[in-house]
Structure 1
Amino acid sequence: MIILEIKNLNKKFGGLTVTDNLNMTVKKGQIYGVIGPNGAGKSTLFNLISGYISPDSGTIFFEGKEITNKKPHILCMDGIGRTFQIVKPFASKSVLYNVAVGAFARTNNRKEALEIAEKVVEQVGLGKKRDVLGKNLTIVDRKRLEIAKAIATQPKLLLLDEVLAGLTPSEIDEAIDLVKSIRDSGVTIVMIEHVMRAVMALCEEVLVINYGLQIASGTPEEVTKNPDVITAYLGDDHDAEG
């Protein structure tokens, strides 16, 4: 079953094309990767899917229904959750409070929201830090909190925007396990990522974009051997296992 489909998506900012006739198909249950150099249009793609900006042309379908130009809060209720590259927790509030805010997308009951938050906090490995203020978290825990806030909205499709950036190798390994566990819980994942070790370990299919234009798609093994990808993004001395 196809959960997300994008057809001929175009977006320009002034004279700059950031999404150029882009097509993309994500199957339910996949972990799907989007890679490309800085400025390639990856975060713009997420902003288009999640309703933060509108395309100039093209269509977006979620679970077979067109969602082009829908507002973010409506798409959240439809089942699309996302993280942001720059994490911004409620700094003076606890981890549990932060996650409960996301849970209120599904309930108006405070007790129920807190119960949802408790489960999610445990799921992402922040159970022992449930009472820690957002401003006192480490980078890795802020990343986990960003994921937790999105999961608390109970998405069917989760967009992860560089959640592994800035992590150590051991922290990346832990994050890989977390992403797999989220998928195994029934959530389809589309992830923007620069950490190729994670892309190779997690993604069943990868879309590569450069200046908003698709230059390759396929399995991680296929795209990392593509000459256009090597030239545009990975570099001639790329080691796919590194």
Structure 2
Amino acid sequence: MRAVAETLLEVKQLTITFGGLIAVNNLNMQVRIGEAVGLIGPNGAGKTSAFNLISGVYKPTQGQVVFNGEDITGLPPYEVCRKGIGRTFQVVKPFGAMTVLENTMVGGFIRTSNRAKARSIAERVLEQVGLDSKANLLAKNLTLADRKRLEVAKALATEPKILLLDEVLAGLNPTEVEEAVQMIRTLNQSGISILMIEHVLQATMALCKHIVVLDYGKKIAEGTPEEVTSNPEVIKAYLGDEYETAIN
């Protein structure tokens, strides 16, 4: 059963069209305070488009984004960020010629114009994500796993109430996935709500007690990991018959 808590993020009938393509179709979804929610579905299902709508990159064709009780629909990304929504991007592009610390300070400047304060925020965040020992390395010299951590650090430095994580586990080996899952779990336990897009289903199921499934822009299921993975429509659209055979 889903925990009873105050709603932090709610999208209502959220829709966006690109020409004749409906990328997100009448999406209704909630994330509660302190909750970790997974957003899954096949490639092209509209997951990243939903993130772009929530974070202000796209303006919806119709519908609302309500955050912390306030309608933030259509606000530009920097204002959405200041409200308390941080996000990562699927393709990580750090400032390669800047250090790990300097990259993270960029996020801190959303909260302060004081360089010393931004540095303090960045140092704290780098310790949280396990990059404090690499603070003075150039970002271009990081491994993929550490670039992913830096992407999370930049978002964390904006001091969000909720983190939107877009495939932060993609491309990582099993050990790196396990370490990243523990990092995300610790962030969630610290009080930051999580909404994550991820194809590494085992990790999603371990982190999230509530899952929303999209297909062709529409929500086809939501519930606990057990409920969505046993849903015939989810198996057909995303998990495949092999998954159904494996669990029977």
Matches of residues 127-206 of structure 1 in structure 2 within 5 Å?
127-206=132-211
Equivalent in 16, 20, 25 of residue 21 of structure 2: 16
2:120 paired residue number: 115
Match of 1:180, as an amino acid?
A: R
Q: TM-score, length-normalised on structure 2?
A: 0.95
Aligned equivalents of 1:116, 1:72: Cα separation in 2:
21
2:90 paired residue number: 85
**2:8 aligned counterpart, secondary structure:** strand
- The ranges of structure 1 where at least 4 consecutive aligned residues each deviate by more than 4 angstroms after the TM superposition are none
**How far does residue 130 in structure 1 lie from its aligned partner after superposition?**
0.7
Aligned equivalents of 2:106, 2:226: Cα separation in 1:
39
Match of 1:79, as an amino acid?
A: G
Aligned equivalents of 2:232, 2:204: Cα separation in 1:
18
Aligned equivalents of 1:21, 1:177: Cα separation in 2:
33
**2:242 aligned counterpart, secondary structure:** coil
1:58 paired residue number: 63
1:88-112 Cα offsets, whole Å, 9 max, x none, are 0000110000001111111111111
Aligned equivalents of 1:222, 1:195: Cα separation in 2:
18
**2:241 aligned counterpart, secondary structure:** coil
2:33 paired residue number: 28
1:119-165 Cα offsets, whole Å, 9 max, x none, are 11111011111111111000000000000000000000110000000
Q: TM-score, length-normalised on structure 1?
A: 0.98
**1:147 aligned counterpart, secondary structure:** helix
Matches of residues 211-226 of structure 1 in structure 2 within 5 Å?
211-226=216-231
Match of 1:152, as an amino acid?
A: A
Aligned equivalents of 1:8, 1:101: Cα separation in 2:
34
Aligned equivalents of 2:231, 2:110: Cα separation in 1:
42
The total of aligned residue pairs comes to 241
Aligned equivalents of 1:57, 1:218: Cα separation in 2:
25
Aligned equivalents of 1:34, 1:51: Cα separation in 2:
18
CA RMSD, Structure 1 to Structure 2 (Å)? 1.1
**How far does residue 237 in structure 1 lie from its aligned partner after superposition?**
1.2
Aligned equivalents of 1:134, 1:238: Cα separation in 2:
39
Aligned equivalents of 1:71, 1:9: Cα separation in 2:
17
